[in-house]
Amino acid sequence: MRLSRYFMPTLREAPADAQIVSHQLMLRAGLIRQEAAGIYAWLPLGLKVLKKIEQIVREEMDRAGAIEVLLPTLQLADLWRESGRYDDYGDEMLRIKDRHDRDLLYGPTAEEVITEIFRAFVKSYKDLPKNLYNIQWKFRDERRPRFGVMRGREFLMKDAYSFDIDEAAARKSYNRMFLAYLNIYARLGLKAIPVKADPGPIGGDLSHEFIILADTGESEVFAHGDLVEMGAPGPDIDWDGDLEPLVTQRSRLYAASDEMHDAARFEAEVPEAKRMTARGIEVGHIFYFGEKYSKPMKALVTGPDGKDAPIHGGSYGVGVSRLVGGIIEASHDDAGIIWPDAVAPFGVAVVNLRVGDAACDEVSERAYKALGEFGKEPLYDDRDDRPGAKFASLDLVGIPWQLIVGPKGVAEGVVEIKRRATGERQTLPLEAALKVIAE
């Protein structure tokens, strides 16, 4: 992409409305534009990042055996009356009437819809287990939206729903999601901690929140240090095998967010040297809810004994749009965003310091073309602007590499490459520089 033809409206100063660093940087780097409280337009750069995160989430869901569907944003109120949640949900649910005066709502989540679909088609235990997921915009009319996309009213969420014959089978589905989530965050370049969450009225221990570490995060986490070092299990585990050891290896270690924290237990269970206190952001939540929806909505399957029974369900959410802010909170410096390679909107910026100079233009064009062929998604800064302005805006938007073409270097047959994350620079002949960036 040629920057002169692109749409990347950066701001030198942060709008006064933005309080936290990710929100400020998202506005300054031209990722989003606020249209109303908690409602944002996604501009080209922001959309690219959002799509990349979405794709990583999708790939890891697929790998773990989940199947993608696309559910509507608008849902029928009658479905929610069946589950009993229509009246419970309160003012957070955006209620709408259509021209026939029918009650609709903009979905804040999709347990009812997915249960309705499931019960329409699945009748036998032989068709279980199933896990269906959906990456779709949700709306929750928060009393107080804030922090940019971290707590918007409209947000993109991946929500998966598992269906199993009994609790033991549901636990296996839960384990798959537990591990898939760790893989997602690892691929996004994040350190994530699964913490036990309030299981709610269902009880049991099958509810975890996933918190990514960021110094500016809003919640405090207390955890066993090994939990972070252990990291994600990786993609090559046997997804159909027994995942329980991998899960318990992690879930038995102490981890709690501030509201669930028990200082006495923390000190008793975790040796002093391993006690970790950090700040973080909740970016995922998984839980098992048994027959909560299948019973009232009559999502029944016939078991091996010939009797019908409600399926055991679980649901698994990832805040996709929130992750954009979360990644920035975890990865930025004074100059701007530092995108992990996996989600960067462009892989490399070709910085032509002297647009109009025949030699600089020629080398820049060559680099741009080659990097495109390597699949590095180059952004060619061909703006007729001063070097300082180019560096500042490219640092701000966080492109992982800069390949800098200046008149002095070109005269000597070299270019410079700079790594955004470390500031590390190398001066090399073009071919060698391309090789480094192409890895």
Binding-site ranges for RNA (CB under 7 A): 10-17, 19, 28, 34, 36-38, 140, 142-147, 149-153, 155, 157, 209, 282-285, 317-319, 321-322, 335, 353-354, 386-389, 391-393, 395-396, 402, 404-409, 416, 418, 425
Q: How far, in Å, CA of 368 to CA of 101, rounded?
A: 56
Which is closer to RNA, CB of 36 or CB of 432? 36
Q: How far, in Å, CA of 378 to CA of 9, rounded?
A: 18
Which is closer to RNA, CB of 36 or CB of 436? 36
Which is closer to RNA, CB of 13 or CB of 272? 13
Query: How deeply is 361 buried, as exposed, middle or buried, from its count of CB atoms within 10 A (0-12, 13-18, 19+)?
Result: middle
Q: Find the shortest distance in angstroms from Cβ 391 to RNA.
A: 3
Question: Nearest-CA neighbor of 394 among 358, 436, 351?
Answer: 351
Question: Residue 201 gets which letter from DSSP?
Answer: G
**Tokens in use for 292?**
């909560």
Which is closer to RNA, CB of 108 or CB of 301? 108
Which is closer to RNA, CB of 105 or CB of 270? 105
Which is closer to RNA, CB of 126 or CB of 425? 425
Q: Find the shortest distance in angstroms from Cβ 252 to RNA.
A: 22
Q: Find the shortest distance in angstroms from Cβ 38 to RNA.
A: 6
Q: Identify the three-state secondary structure at position 245.
A: helix
Q: How far, in Å, CA of 50 to CA of 327, rounded?
A: 11
Diameter over CA atoms, the chain: 82
Which is closer to RNA, CB of 189 or CB of 406? 406
- Cis preceding-peptide flag for 129 (omega within 30 of 0): yes
Residues 6+ apart with CB under 8 A from 345: 44, 45, 48, 49, 52, 339, 377, 379, 397, 399
Q: Find the shortest distance in angstroms from Cβ 61 to RNA.
A: 14
Q: Find the shortest distance in angstroms from Cβ 285 to RNA.
A: 4
Backbone angles phi, psi at 363, to 5 degrees: -65, -40
Contact 148, 38 (CB under 8 A): no
**Tokens in use for 246?**
């991998």
Contact 253, 226 (CB under 8 A): yes
Which is closer to RNA, CB of 48 or CB of 140? 140
The tokens 């309030």 sit on which residue?
Answer: 198
Q: Find the shortest distance in angstroms from Cβ 24 to RNA.
A: 10
Q: Identify the three-state secondary structure at position 158.
A: strand
Q: Find the shortest distance in angstroms from Cβ 10 to RNA.
A: 5
Which is closer to RNA, CB of 102 or CB of 386? 386
Q: Find the shortest distance in angstroms from Cβ 219 to RNA.
A: 8
Which is closer to RNA, CB of 82 or CB of 142? 142
Query: How deeply is 438 buried, as exposed, middle or buried, from its count of CB atoms within 10 A (0-12, 13-18, 19+)?
Result: middle
Query: How deeply is 372 buried, as exposed, middle or buried, from its count of CB atoms within 10 A (0-12, 13-18, 19+)?
Result: middle
Do you know the residue count of the chain?
439
Q: Find the shortest distance in angstroms from Cβ 118 to RNA.
A: 21
Question: Nearest-CA neighbor of 247 among 310, 293, 183?
Answer: 183
Contact 294, 313 (CB under 8 A): yes
Q: Find the shortest distance in angstroms from Cβ 239 to RNA.
A: 23
Which is closer to RNA, CB of 119 or CB of 153? 153
**Tokens in use for 309?**
């029974």
**88: number of Cβ within 10 Å:** 9
**Tokens in use for 398?**
């966080």
Q: What is the β-pairing status of strands 67-69 and 130-139?
A: parallel
Q: Find the shortest distance in angstroms from Cβ 377 to RNA.
A: 20
Which is closer to RNA, CB of 62 or CB of 333? 333
Q: Find the shortest distance in angstroms from Cβ 383 to RNA.
A: 9
